[in-house]
């Protein structure tokens, strides 16, 4: 009888082993599988090089990586969610910054604190460490960061009589204010141009790129502890900030449906855009452009900027977390972080990485400005397990608010208030159903 059971278990084990591509039989060798989104050629090459380097030096821990062909980040989350149902998760997988809390709170990922020294932790930029920490423990480590800044078409702004030298000379002590942005947008809106560009992807892009405006006004989307939305996203400050944005749309200074590459194609004068736009503009723009710090609230003048990028986490299904942790610590060392960041053309998370040859171009110009923001003003998105629900609800509310403003040609604060009250209800319901004690 006992024999039958153990035979059945062995069979089940063999089946599950085949399914997850992790052979569990080999003696002494630990196999580690990694999932991360498929990326450009330079990154795919980086992975191949690093993994073969590691595998050669560590015959006892053999690593392989699967490139995941996501269509959008929701599809990637779906793949994780379906794998969770059947314990098919890989040992290590990549997560987008604000999802770290979601996975951690649901016990999908395990803490990484043991694998990184305090010295290591101090070397990572604070924004990245904060984003990847949940409930006091570190759940993910990433090599790159992102930021958002204010871009402007110098040639066109000069035509409109805007002092671009003044914009060029702005510093973190003296950044552009929302009033000034509105003023520039008004000046530059003509039949052929809109004044500015507000990211409108109906998705994560909205809460990501716009959060600093709310923080600068004094209230984040969610409370610090990640439990409350009431009094935050529906606060007076938040409503006023949103009204300011809706006003830009209502007056026609920004498009309610901006098309891709609107700024690059010379259809709008300025934009609030991601750090990744720098490379695109350098390669393609046929006009002179500039970039300055993320605008601040006209009254508080408090400088804030967005941040967050994909990071690696160890899954609950990992059988040898120590081996995975050892690999991860190596993968995220200064040299590897620097070469990864250089290959993907994003700012690195480790301060020491900027000292390396690979990151030399971050010493000046637009990229130095991005690093300056990351080190001094970056604030991660709210760390709450209900972030995905909040994000979807917020994006939906903003779509409605902008559509309403465009149709009625004015920003309606009562309507904004009612939409944000709905966001609060949605968030609270999700949080209380699944996470409140």
Cβ atoms of 348 and 122 within 8 Å: the answer is no
Instruction: Sort strands 109-110 and 92-95 into parallel, antiparallel or unpaired.
Output: unpaired
Burial of 72 (0-12, 13-18, 19+ CB in 10 A): exposed
Considering only residues 74 to 93 of the shown chain, the ones binding other proteins according to CB under 8 A are 74-75, 77-82, 84-86, 88
In whole angstroms, what is the distance from residue 83 CA to residue 81 CA?
5
One symbol per residue from 19 to 58: x for binding other proteins (CB under 8 A), - otherwise; what is it? Answer: xxx-------------x-xxxxx--x--------------
d(CA 34, CA 123) in angstroms, rounded, equals: 24
**Candidates 18-26, 125-133, 150-158, 353-361; binding stretch for other proteins (CB under 8 A):** 18-26
Tokens of 251: 């007056």
Answer for which of 15, 24, 29, 360 binds other proteins (CB under 8 A) is 15
Nearest distance, CB of residue 329 and other proteins, angstroms = 25
> Residue 263 in contact with residue 188, Cβ under 8 Å?
no
Nearer to other proteins, 199 or 298 (CB): 199
Task: Report d(CA 374, CA 354) in Å as an integer.
Answer: 13
Binding status of residue 263 toward other proteins by CB under 8 A: no
Q: Does 388 bind other proteins (CB under 8 A)?
A: yes
Query: With CB under 8 A, what is the number of residues at the site for other proteins?
Result: 75
Pick the closer one to other proteins by CB: 116 or 420. Answer: 420
Query: From the CB of 88, what's the least distance to other proteins, in Å?
Result: 6
Smallest distance from the beta carbon of 193 to other proteins, in angstroms? 8
389-428: contacts with other proteins (CB under 8 A): 389, 392, 395-396, 399-400, 402-404, 406-407
Contact between 228 and other proteins (CB under 8 A)?
Answer: no
Close Cβ partners of 367 (under 8 Å, ≥ 6 residues apart): 278, 347, 361
Nearer to other proteins, 94 or 150 (CB): 94
Shortest spacing between CB 71 and other proteins, in angstroms? 4
Q: How far is the CB of 318 from other proteins (least distance, A)?
A: 16
β-pairing, 30-37 vs 148-153, is unpaired
Query: From the list 102, 124, 214, 340, which residue makes contact with other proteins (rule: CB under 8 A)?
Result: 102
Report 243-262 residues binding other proteins (CB under 8 A). Answer: 255-257, 259-262
Nearest one of 382, 381, 379, 414 to 246, comparing CA atoms: 414
* Nearest alpha carbon to residue 246 among 294, 303, 182, 150: 182
Return all residues near 319 (Cβ < 8 A) that are at least 6 apart: 22, 24, 30, 91
Among 56, 60, 173, 191, binds other proteins (CB under 8 A): 191
Among 10, 18, 24, 360, contact with other proteins (rule: CB under 8 A): 18
**Smallest separation (angstroms) from other proteins to the CB of 259:** 5
Binding test (CB under 8 A) with other proteins, winner from 61, 141, 185, 194: 194
Q: Binders of other proteins among 306-345, rule CB under 8 A?
A: none
Whole-angstrom Cα Rg for the chain: 23
Residues 264-303 that bind other proteins (CB under 8 A): 264-265, 267, 274, 276-277, 279-280, 284-286
Nearer to other proteins (CB atom), residue 176 or residue 222: 222
* Residue positions counted in the chain: 437
Of the two residues 121 and 251, which places its CB atom closer to other proteins in the complex?
Answer: 251
Backbone φ, ψ for residue 276 (5° rounding): -65, -15
Using the minimum distance from each CB to other proteins, give the nearer residue, 211 or 262.
262
DSSP 8-state code for residue 263: T
Q: What is the dihedral of CA 336, 340, 346, 348, to 10 degrees?
A: -10
Cβ 347 vs Cβ 147: under 8 Å: yes
Residue 63's closest CA among 318, 309, 311?
Answer: 318
Closest distance to other proteins from the beta carbon of 196 (Å)? 13
| Minimum distance of other proteins from residue 353's CB (angstroms) | 19
Contact segment (CB under 8 A) with other proteins among 16-24, 151-159, 217-225, 375-383 equals 16-24
58 φ, ψ to 5°?
Answer: -125, 80
Place of tokens 């969770």: 84
Smallest distance, Å, CB 289 to other proteins? 13
Least Cα distance to 146 among 345, 388, 360, 386 occurs for: 345
Closer residue to other proteins, CB minimum distance, 222 or 303: 222
């Amino acid at each position: 009888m006992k024999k039958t059971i153990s035979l059945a278990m062995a069979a089940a084990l063999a089946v599950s082993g085949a399914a997850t591509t992790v052979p569990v039989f080999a003696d002494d060798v630990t196999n580690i599988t990694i999932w991360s989104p498929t990326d450009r050629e330079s990154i795919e090459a980086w992975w191949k090089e690093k993994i073969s380097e590691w595998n050669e030096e560590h015959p006892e821990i053999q690593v392989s990586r699967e490139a995941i062909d996501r269509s959008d980040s929701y599809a990637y989350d779906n793949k994780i969610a379906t794998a969770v149902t059947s314990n098919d998760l890989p040992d290590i997988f990549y997560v987008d910054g604000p999802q770290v809390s979601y996975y951690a709170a649901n016990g999908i990922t395990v803490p990484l604190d043991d694998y990184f020294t305090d010295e290591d932790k101090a070397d990572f930029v604070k924004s990245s460490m904060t984003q990847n920490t949940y409930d006091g423990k570190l759940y993910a480590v990433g090599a790159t960061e992102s930021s958002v800044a204010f871009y402007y078409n110098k040639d066109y702004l000069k035509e409109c009589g805007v002092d671009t030298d003044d914009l060029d000379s702005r510093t973190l002590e003296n950044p552009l204010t929302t009033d000034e942005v509105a003023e520039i947008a008004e000046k530059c809106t003509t039949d052929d141009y809109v004044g500015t560009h507000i990211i409108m992807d109906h998705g994560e892009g909205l809460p990501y790129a716009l959060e600093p405006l709310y923080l600068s006004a004094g209230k984040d989307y969610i409370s610090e502890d990640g439990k409350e939305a009431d009094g935050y996203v529906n606060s007076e400050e938040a409503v006023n900030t949103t009204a300011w944005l809706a006003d830009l749309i209502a007056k026609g200074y920004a498009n309610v449906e901006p098309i891709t590459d609107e700024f690059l194609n010379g259809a709008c004068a300025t934009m609030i855009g991601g750090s990744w736009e720098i490379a695109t503009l350098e390669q393609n723009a046929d006009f002179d452009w500039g970039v300055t710090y993320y605008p601040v609230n006209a009254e508080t003048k408090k400088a804030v900027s967005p941040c967050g990028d994909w990071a690696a986490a160890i899954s609950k299904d990992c059988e040898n977390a120590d081996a995975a942790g050892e690999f991860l610590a190596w993968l995220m060392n200064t040299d590897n972080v620097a070469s990864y960041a250089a290959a993907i053309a994003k700012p690195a998370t480790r301060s020491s990485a900027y000292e390396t040859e690979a990151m030399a171009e971050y010493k000046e110009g637009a990229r130095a400005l991005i690093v300056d923001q990351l080190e001094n003003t970056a604030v991660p998105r709210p760390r709450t397990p209900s972030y995905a629900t909040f994000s979807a609800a917020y994006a939906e509310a903003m779509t409605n608010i902008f559509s309403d403003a465009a149709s009625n040609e004015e920003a309606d604060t009562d309507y904004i208030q009612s939409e944000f009250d709905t966001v609060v209800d949605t968030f609270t319901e999700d949080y209380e159903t699944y996470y409140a004690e």
